[in-house]
Structure 1
Amino acid sequence: MSWADKPNGNDMARRAGASRSDFDGDFAALRQRGRHLIAEIVRLSRQLTDLQQAIGSRRGAPGRGSVSGGEPR
């Protein structure tokens, strides 16, 4: 079950019977998921930069390639 499938945090029945450790565990899981998502965004950003540079060098543009600039196809 992914975090998206879990019940909403506003579910009062679940909150009434939940202990502090349950919330701490949920927080830890969300924090870990957040770190994984940030790492994935950084990886994709670097990959995009590399791709832009490869496109720019293929077109003969100096330095970093520009998505909006360059020669028309």
Structure 2
Amino acid sequence: MEYETTLRHERKLGIDEGRKQGIDEGIDKTIVKSALSVMTKLNVSAEQALDVIDVPKSDQPKYLKLMKEKA
């Protein structure tokens, strides 16, 4: 019985982690899409676009990398 309880607990942890990862990836895609849209509409640099959509300076390198991969 203890083994089954451990398996259920591990499965729940895996599901929770997968959900969080999916949410994080969705947020990343939304930020990249928004920044690219701002760049196009306002004719600004990637850094300026991230500033416009209020991405913290500490997170901007991550999104700049994702934007380069998208291009």
Q: CA RMSD in A?
A: 1.9
Aligned to 2:34: 51
Aligned to 2:68: none
Aligned to 2:14: 31
Aligned length: 50
Greater fraction of residues in helix: 2
Give the Cα–Cα distance (whole angstroms) in 2 for the partners of residues 50 and 68 of structure 1.
14
Give the Cα–Cα distance (whole angstroms) in 2 for the partners of residues 36 and 68 of structure 1.
28
If you compute each CA radius of gyration, which structure gives the higher value, 1 or 2? 1
TM-score in terms of structure 1 length: 0.58
Q: Which structure is higher in RCO with an 8 Å CA cutoff and minimum separation 6?
A: 2
